[in-house]
Chains A and B, each alone.
Chain A
Amino acid sequence: MTPTSGEVLINGQKPGVDSKRIISYLPEHTYLDKNMNITKVLEYFKTFYDNFNEEKAESLLKKLNLDKNTRLNKMSKGMQEKLQLILVMSREADLYILDEPLGGVDPATRDYIIDTILSNFKEGSSIIISTHLIADIERILDEVIFIDNGTIKLISDADELRKKEKTSIDEIFRRSFKC
């Protein structure tokens, strides 16, 4: 993205090669070369990310019963998203940025995604999740930020906000952005 205004600092530094090393990013789109098979994708991540834990990725893939020779274009969109999540969460990163990880998937897959996130992030790391499906992730939130048209509307500790408003964050969100 071409920045229009403002500044982003990661560990006091502007985004660059060093910050990309410690950030594990999951975009909303499927971003892998569809002609690659799973083995090739694992090799790709191992090549470029020093903190990629191949064993962890392989054990997570085993649970999904995915054949490593399967090409991505032979997999369903849901499976591709699960694979991407496994790759992202298999990195021993300091910051995980997950953009709409629950978008467009069925409730069972949502549970799988939340479970994979919670049981695989590196201890001591931070996770930023951007989502519209607040109810699904409400239980795991520490801090919430409401953004509207690129402007921050609210920043708060999740528990404090719930206590103050005496309702769930999902409900607070619905009230704040009522059409």
Chain B
Amino acid sequence: MLSKLLKYDLQWLYKSLIIFYFFTIIFAISSHLFGLINNSLIFSLLTSLCNGISIILMISTIIYNIICLWIHFIKNIYKEESYLTHTLPVSKTKIFLAKIFSSIITLLTSIIIVIISIFICYYSNSNLQVLENVIQPILSIINVNSTIFIIFFIILIFIEVLYLIISGYLGIIIGFKSNNHKIIKSIVYGYVIYQAISLISLVFLFITALLNHEIMNLFKTTYIPSANLLKFILISIFTLYVVFIFLYSYLGNKLIKRGVNIE
């Protein structure tokens, strides 16, 4: 049943997302093709225009994906369509899991589309050299090669955005327990839940600092941390995000299982 729910969730989400994917890729290709034509003012202007539109579309794709997921969640769980959702012979856990999985899958495809578009738009030996030069100082500190760094960076962005989506879901679940101003309350709760990780990270770092002199220096001085310490911090942030995604998903599921107030 989970796969069937997932199928219908993905169908709904991709119906509009696919339009964004299409135009993002089209403008990236146009930008690349116009850029190949030298010595023309018109084509140079067109390249800049397509470049700008591509960047806007890339950012919009991710933002639209997030908003689309939240709207679909509200429509399916709390609005008129919820009368159908909650009377399907499926457990509430599966309904919620389908939302989490559809978030992971659509976000993954959106990020892949953005990466492909960036690659189409900007791939050239000179741009690669510029990127290499920009990240080289960081690479020399943490002592890893550029490929691993870029992959880790992309995964971190994916986890961060997924954390934002799940925080939103939990905010919606708590906000919709109220009888009035549900949307406003959802936004406020969602924001507080999203920010919780910053506070907890700082507390976690401070507790670790009490046991580790080098970490304490980050609080007291302007000292640049060693490669090992930087790696530790990055991996801790990554782990914390993953832990919180699981925690928020667990809480969200538990709250939904207790009952929802359909509008």
List residues of chain A with CB under 8 Å of any chain B CB. Answer: 1-3, 16-18, 20-21, 23, 25, 27, 29-33, 35, 44, 47-49
Other-chain contact of B80, A1, A23, A30 (Cβ < 8 Å): A30
11 examples of A-B residue contacts, CB within 8 angstroms: A2-B258, A2-B261, A16-B91, A17-B89, A17-B91, A20-B90, A21-B89, A29-B83, A31-B81, A31-B84, A48-B89
**Contact (Cβ within 8 A) A48 B80:** no
- Counting CB contacts under 8 A, is B220 at the interface? no
Contacts of B12 in A (CB 8 A): 33
**Contact (Cβ within 8 A) A48 B90:** yes
- Counting CB contacts under 8 A, is B262 at the interface? yes
Distance, CA A3 to CA B8, complexed state (A): 29
Other-chain contact of A1, B84, B90, B261 (Cβ < 8 Å): B261
Distance, CA A20 to CA B84, complexed state (A): 11
Contacts of B84 in A (CB 8 A): 31-32
Distance, CA A25 to CA B86, complexed state (A): 10
Query: What is the distance, in angstroms, from B90's C-beta to the closest C-beta of chain A?
Result: 7
**Contact (Cβ within 8 A) A48 B259:** no
Distance, CA A173 to CA B91, complexed state (A): 39
Contact with A along B1-27 (1 / 0, CB 8 A): 100100010001001000000000000
- Counting CB contacts under 8 A, is B37 at the interface? no
A1-B261, A2-B259, A31-B80 given as contacts; is B90 within 8 A of A17 (CB)? yes
Size range of the chain B interface in the assembly: 20 to 34
Contacts of A25 in B (CB 8 A): 83, 87
Considering the complex, give the chain B residue whose CB is closest to the CB of A48.
Answer: B88
- Counting CB contacts under 8 A, is B142 at the interface? no
**Contact (Cβ within 8 A) B4 A47:** yes
Contacts of A35 in B (CB 8 A): 15
**Contact (Cβ within 8 A) B258 A20:** no
A17-B91, A21-B89, A49-B89 given as contacts; is B261 within 8 A of A32 (CB)? no
Contact with A along B160-182 (1 / 0, CB 8 A): 00000000000000000100000
Distance, CA A1 to CA B176, complexed state (A): 12
**Contact (Cβ within 8 A) B258 A27:** no
A17-B89, A17-B91, A49-B89 given as contacts; is B81 within 8 A of A1 (CB)? no
- Counting CB contacts under 8 A, is B97 at the interface? no
Other-chain contact of B4, A18, A23, A31, A48 (Cβ < 8 Å): A48
